Amino acid sequence: MAYLGEPVPTVPQPRPTAEPPGRTGPWLSARPEAARVGGATADGPTGAVLFGRDGTLLQNVACNGDPAMVHPTAGVRAALAALRAAGFAVGVLSNQPGVARGLLGRGQVETVQARAEALLGPIDVWAVCPHGSHDTCSCHMPAPGLVTAACRALGLPPSRVTVIGCGENVIAAALAAGAHAIRVPDATRPTVAPYRSCTPTACPAAEGPAEAAYLLLRHRPTELRRSTGNSGA
């Protein structure tokens, strides 16, 4: 029983697993050999492909910190196998505003990443923004900071990197960073056609990760916008 003069807590306290994200930039987790994937040349990998996490690489589960809820999307295994065989490094981009809201901690985010790798094989770089959309950071997509940070971790310029994603924010971040982009539909939402054009420059669209990988392997990244950009809009 509370007596007069005793403070009565009325605001829910943050979960103990949550960590204040600070303003130190994105969370990066990269394999030490990431810039040597493929190993065919001294210059490193053929290039890199960065996948949006939720809705593109993995089925979209809001604020997921449970590895049991990690399920790859259709076609993503085939896409990763084809890209790795061709010498591409692969990475993942993810906004995680649930961290800023106190719903997730870094350990939970990394547990989800570990489960994804157990199912899909090694990922060369994970780039995560732990901030909210109203925080003053440069890594919350559609800002380009998450893409450029992943590129630096891989030792590649954005011009040698292609982003495959379903969200407007992911596509916008890729183009703002100077990378290439391929749009795919969100695997957990109904497909709405036609696709909206990527901005400020049109980019191609694919029916899913496997088709996006095929499109990338068939055309050099600089040819993608010329050959398919308008038809995918």
- Determine the pLDDT at residue 200: 40
Q: What is the pTM of this model?
A: 0.79
- Cross-strand bridge partners of residue 49: 90, 162
CATH architecture of 27-228: 3-Layer(aba) Sandwich (3.40)
Taking the C-alpha atoms of residue 155 and residue 162, their distance in angstroms, rounded to an integer, is 14
- pLDDT tens digits for 42-55? 445 789 999 999 99
C-alpha closest to that of 34 among 25, 23, 45, 24: 45
- pLDDT tens digits for 75-109? 999 999 999 999 999 999 999 999 999 999 999 99
At residue 91, the 3 state secondary structure works out as strand
Query: Which backbone phi and psi does 162 adopt, to 5 degrees?
Result: -120, 135
- pLDDT tens digits for 18-27? 444 445 779 9
Provide the terminal-to-terminal Cα distance of the chain, rounded to the nearest Å: 63
Where do the domains of the chain lie?
Answer: 27-228
| Better pLDDT: 134 or 178 | 178
Taking the C-alpha atoms of residue 48 and residue 151, their distance in angstroms, rounded to an integer, is 8
Q: How confident is the model at residue 133 (pLDDT cuts 50, 70, 90)?
A: confident
Please, are residues 113 and 123 in contact by the beta-carbon 8 Å criterion?
A: yes
- Determine the pLDDT at residue 15: 40
Please, are residues 80 and 122 in contact by the beta-carbon 8 Å criterion?
A: no
Query: Which backbone phi and psi does 83 adopt, to 5 degrees?
Result: -70, -40
- Determine the pLDDT at residue 78: 96
Taking the C-alpha atoms of residue 15 and residue 102, their distance in angstroms, rounded to an integer, is 6
SS3 letters for 189-208? CCCCCCCCCCCCCCCCECCC
Taking the C-alpha atoms of residue 8 and residue 10, their distance in angstroms, rounded to an integer, is 6
At residue 153, the 3 state secondary structure works out as helix
Taking the C-alpha atoms of residue 107 and residue 52, their distance in angstroms, rounded to an integer, is 20
